[in-house]
Amino acid sequence: MAIKRIWHGWTTLENADAYEHILNSEVFPSIEAKAIPGYHGIELLRRDLDDEVEFITIMTFDSIQNVINFQGEDYQRCYVPDAAQAVLKRWDRTSAHFELKTARTST
């Protein structure tokens, strides 16, 4: 079983590239440095809209307990470092957690 932790944040058009850079150069490496057991990585999705840019992060863990080890007992609370908050327009205050039931890849 895998758990997908899904979170959304939005920036202005002007701050989108800066936010993406902060994620890739600071936030993601700091998460990886924690060496959280059961953590398998993070995906970043970006969608440019008319007047803002939407970002989605999807973290993969083995279990909810691994998420708790990462975030604490209030594991649904979002993790948004100060540097990221400085360029975000708005963001989800909580993350959603889904159990991965099926994953298929083409051959």
- The answer to whether residue 60 scores a pLDDT higher than 80 is yes
What's the pLDDT tens digit per position in 14-32? 999 999 999 999 999 999 9
Coil, helix or strand at residue 12: coil
Single-letter code of the amino acid located at 53: V
The answer as to CATH 3.30.70.100 being correct for domain 2-100 is: yes
- The answer to whether residue 92 scores a pLDDT higher than 90 is yes
- Six-digit token string for 5: 């932790």
Contact partners, residue 43, CB within 8 Å, separation at least 6: 57, 58, 59, 60
* C-alpha–C-alpha distance, residues 78 and 69, integer Å: 14
- Six-digit token string for 43: 């995906």
Contact partners, residue 8, CB within 8 Å, separation at least 6: 54, 55, 56, 91, 92
pTM comes to 0.91
First and final C-alpha spacing in the chain: 22
Domain definitions of the chain by residue range: 2-100
